[in-house]
Amino acid sequence: MKRSREKAASELFAALYPRLAGWCRRLVDDDETAHEIASEAFTRLWARWTSVAEPRGFLYVTAANLVRDHWRKLERERRAMHRVTSEAAVRAHPEQADPSVRLLVQSLPERLRVPILLHYYADMPIREVSVLTGRKEGTVKADLHAARELLRVHLRRSLDHTP
């Protein structure tokens, strides 16, 4: 029993790790961090191996949460650096105010952020996002639409304020 469990876990790792790490890489823009996040997601899956019905979904949702934690850490670090720099130095670099889609996605409420990450960044169909989030497909579609509208408004607003 233990041998087949290990074999199944090994096969799952071989099949999913490269894609999961690549997905994380696109989100965090750093190879080492992406591999740490993907590895941690597998570690957490392994700890719950017998109770997880959908390993792929568990991995992506766990990785999405770890990416969110990474983004929060970066934002805390950014704010701390901002506090220790002078206002003049900050004004000397107006390009820092330019929005990035990653930061905008990060700012979405979790209800909207998770479907965006799973559907657009992990290339999961709406049906699968629905199963993983425990929401009806129509709700996922509505959440994706609401998230796209929020992102569109934020992008338009930030582009209107550029010189």
Looking at residue 82, its pLDDT comes to 63
Name the domain boundary from 87, 105, 134: 87
Looking at residue 161, its pLDDT comes to 64
Dihedral sign, Cα of residue 71, residue 73, residue 74, residue 78: positive
Looking at residue 25, its pLDDT comes to 94
Question: Which tokens go with 14?
Answer: 């071989």
Question: Which tokens go with 50?
Answer: 């017998």
pLDDT band at 96 (very low <50, low <70, confident <90, very high): very low
Query: How far apart (Å, rounded) are the C-alpha atoms in residues 62 and 46?
Result: 12
Question: Which tokens go with 149?
Answer: 């509208």
Name the domain boundary from 47, 66, 87: 87
Looking at residue 86, its pLDDT comes to 45
Looking at residue 81, its pLDDT comes to 64
If one compares 12 and 1, the residue with the highest pLDDT of the two is 12
Question: Which tokens go with 51?
Answer: 């109770």
Could you report the per-residue pLDDT of 60-72, keeping only the tens digit for each?
A: 999 999 999 998 8
Q: Which residues form the domain of 154?
A: 97-162
Quote the mean pLDDT of the chain: 83
Report angle CA 146, 76, 19 to the nearest 5 degrees: 60
Residues 3 and 82 in one domain: yes
Residues 17 and 71 in one domain: yes
Looking at residue 72, its pLDDT comes to 87
- Look at residue 64 and tell me if it is in a domain: yes
Name the domain boundary from 50, 69, 87: 87
Check pLDDT > 70 for residue 87: no
Looking at residue 83, its pLDDT comes to 60
- Look at residue 92 and tell me if it is in a domain: no
Residues 81 and 107 in one domain: no
If one compares 82 and 47, the residue with the highest pLDDT of the two is 47
Residues 130 and 149 in one domain: yes
Instruction: Please name the helix (run of DSSP H) or strand (run of DSSP E) that holds residue 118, with its range, or none.
Output: none
Contacts of 108 (CB under 8 A, 6+ apart): 116, 147, 150, 151
pTM of the model: 0.58
Question: Which tokens go with 80?
Answer: 């701390």
Question: Which tokens go with 23?
Answer: 């997905």
* 98-118 average pLDDT score: 80
Torsional class of 114: left (φ above 0), alpha (ψ -120 to 50), beta (otherwise): alpha
Looking at residue 95, its pLDDT comes to 44
